[in-house]
Amino acid sequence: MTKTQQALSRLLCNHFKMHRARVDSLTQMIFCIIKVSSVQLTALSRGFDSSAQVGSTLRRLQRFFQFQELKLENVAKLIFALIPLPAQIILTLDRTNWKFGAKDINFLTMAFVYKGVSIPFLWQLLDHKGNSNTSQRISLLEKGLKILCNRPIYCLLADREFIGQAWFSWLINAHIPFCIRLKETTSVRHKNGGKVPIKNLCRALKVGETLTLQNSVWSHKVSLTCLRLTTGELLILASPFTFKDQMLTIYVKRWTIECLFKSLKSQGFNLEVTHLKHCERLSKLFALCAIAFAWSVKIGEIKNTLIPIKIKNHGRPLYSLFTYGFHALQAFFFKDNPTKKLLNFLDFSTQNSLRIFNCQGVTVVY
């Protein structure tokens, strides 16, 4: 194992009680997901650093998914050890789904926003296609709050799927601030006393113009911010009065979970190519991808400290922290370049802090 693999292996030992051979398998699987950009077990078995035959390695991986337990609470704590929770916790909630043959694979996923990236730490595999229901969302969020040790949530971001009277009631009663997009047809109170779709109040809005108003949605008083998009569509955000005029700025961060799903799928680990269908095994595979994603973000953050990401003319970075770290790790596996020297300085102390010592004349401590 390289030093960077040994660093991750030690961290895994601190969070999972399993045989050392299983820890080695887990470590190699995480690195192989990054190395071969795939989650197919046959592809992973070919990427293993082992003297065993590919067929033997494949059976080893199959046994891991069949028998080894991976508790989501421990996976979340491992991710928090890699990526510390920010002072202001912004949660993103969304689904990613695909089909394998006749089977619908549908993950309801919760993540927290860290430096422009959504870091997944909890998920639930739904037993149906399409939208989640209120009870499923509440169940996932309750587990998430427990894992977060009931630390206060600054804001929960979600799209138009995550609406409804029971859902809004639960969030408000649980004292969870939210910024959620509404459908244009959602009914609100009219000044004449009746109810009308929100879009009726925004007819005069031109492209780029906003309208902020206080109203009632499903019997709950909320602040509404409406923006006319360049497509002519309306972006309508509902929130408690906590955020007032900040809603558009905060809601932009919801896009980070869409970028997360792209990274887990077509622009990173190709999660959709898996042939696994068993729910528990799919959840384990998602856990491996979440760890690989967090590890890539951490490497990207470290490399960005030493070699800053270029900023484009429009002010946005050339790469996300994930892409920067993902490419650095792949270069580490396939090329003999400065990235190899950089990553060979990685280590973990007994306090699980990630460190780099005197790398290219710079000392970085995490």
Report the chain's C-alpha Rg in angstroms.
Answer: 22
Q: List the chain domain ranges.
A: 3-69+292-365, 179-241
Give the pLDDT confidence score for residue 354 in this predicted structure: 44
pLDDT tens per residue across all 366 residues of the chain? 677 778 888 889 989 988 888 999 999 999 999 999 999 999 999 988 888 899 999 999 999 999 999 999 999 999 999 999 999 999 999 999 999 988 999 999 999 999 999 999 999 999 999 999 999 999 999 999 999 998 999 999 999 999 999 999 999 999 999 999 999 999 998 888 789 999 999 999 999 999 999 999 998 999 999 999 999 999 999 998 777 678 999 999 999 999 999 999 999 999 999 999 999 999 999 999 999 999 999 999 999 998 999 999 888 899 999 999 999 998 888 765 555 555 555 554 333 444 443 344 444 444
According to the model, what pLDDT value does residue 360 have? 41
Q: Is the pTM of this model over 0.85?
A: yes
CA trace torsion 210, 211, 212, 216 (10° rounding): -130
pLDDT at 192: 81
